[in-house]
């Protein structure tokens, strides 16, 4: 690129940004990304666009596709945090040494009931994890999974439990239909 090309590139970037702004707003709204969390997503995508401008043929489509993918990754990451948080909360609760009062006994029963609603594989895994205190390597050995895959399977089961907690309304609707 010669120095003479520079203003043209800047102008085209400005046009591109102006063109893409309304569509980005709609995209973020659709994906329900909180405004404060969009800054990193947009910045990373735009910098990648600048660095790879030569290789990219349709910058607007590229931007929209890249940001859509980043929105998915954003939610995957948020969900992972939520699963971890729910898991930590349940583990902490189950590990409490004191004799449970009525309220805690009810909670334990509700938790057991929630786990019973999950697929068989998740029922076994979460029961061993929460009732028996099994760690990942022991779970892998006991359930016949490889040590490398047990974390993935545990995450899927935590996802199923969390989904049951937060979206049981949806599940009931789905089951009814």
Partner 1 sequence: MTDHPTPDALEQFILGQLSTAETREIAFHLLNGCPHCQQATSTLWEPADSFEDPTILDVICQEEDEASADGYDAVLDRVFDKVAATEAAFAAQRFQAGALLAELVQVPAERQHLLVTNSQRFRSRALCDLLVEESHETGFQDPRRAVELASLALLLVDRLTAADCGGEDVHESLRARVWAQLGNAHRIHSNLNEAEEALAVAQELLAAGGVSLFDRARVLALLASLRRAQEQFAEALRLFDRVAGIYKKLGQWNLMGRTLLQKSLVCGEAGDIEAEMSLLRRALDLIDPQNDPRLFLAARHNLIHALNESGRSREAFALLFHSRPLYLKMGDRMNLLKLRWVEGLVAAGLHRHDQAEAAFREVREAYAGLGLDYDAALASLDLAGIYVAQGRTADLLRVTEETVAVFQSRSTHREALAAVLALCGAARQEEAGAGLVRQVSEFLKRARNNPNLQFSANP
Query: Could you write out the DSSP letters of every residue in 133-174?
Result: ---HHHHHHHHT--HHHHHHHHHHHHHHHHHHHH-HHHHHHH
Helix (H, G, I), strand (E, B) or coil at 100: coil
Return phi, psi of residue 58, to 5°: -125, 90
| Selected binder of partner 1 within 101, 102, 169, 177 (CB under 8 A) | 169
Helix (H, G, I), strand (E, B) or coil at 84: helix
Name the minimum Å distance from CB 52 to partner 1.
6
| Selected binder of partner 1 within 15, 19, 26, 147 (CB under 8 A) | 26
Per CB under 8 A, which of residues 98..127 are in contact with partner 1?
106-107, 110-111, 114
Q: Does 72 bind partner 1 (CB under 8 A)?
A: yes
Q: Give the Cα separation of 129 and 136 in Å (integer).
A: 8
Per CB under 8 A, which of residues 45..64 are in contact with partner 1?
46-48, 50-52, 54-58, 60-62, 64
Asked whether 126 and 118 are in contact (CB, 8 A), the reply is: yes
Q: Does 28 bind partner 1 (CB under 8 A)?
A: yes
CB nearer to partner 1: give 64 or 136. Answer: 64
Quote the DSSP letter at residue 176: H
Name the minimum Å distance from CB 69 to partner 1.
5
| Selected binder of partner 1 within 19, 116, 141, 167 (CB under 8 A) | 167
């Amino acid at each position: 690129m010669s120095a003479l090309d520079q203003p043209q590139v800047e102008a085209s970037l400005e046009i591109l940004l102006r063109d893409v702004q309304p569509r980005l707003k709609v995209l973020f709204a659709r994906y329900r990304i909180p405004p404060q969390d969009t800054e990193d997503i947009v910045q990373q995508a735009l910098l990648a666009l600048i660095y790879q401008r030569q290789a990219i043929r349709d910058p607007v489509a590229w931007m929209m596709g890249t940001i859509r993918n980043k929105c998915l990754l954003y939610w995957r990451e948020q969900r992972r945090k939520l699963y971890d948080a729910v898991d930590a909360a349940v583990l902490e609760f189950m590990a409490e040494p004191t004799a449970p009062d009525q309220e805690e006994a009810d909670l334990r029963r509700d938790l057991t009931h929630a786990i019973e609603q999950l697929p068989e594989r998740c029922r076994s895994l979460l029961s061993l994890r929460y009732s028996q205190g099994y760690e990942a390597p022991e779970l892998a050995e006991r359930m016949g999974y490889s040590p490398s895959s047990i974390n993935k399977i545990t995450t899927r089961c935590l996802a199923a439990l969390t989904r049951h907690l937060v979206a049981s309304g949806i599940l009931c609707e789905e089951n009814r239909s």
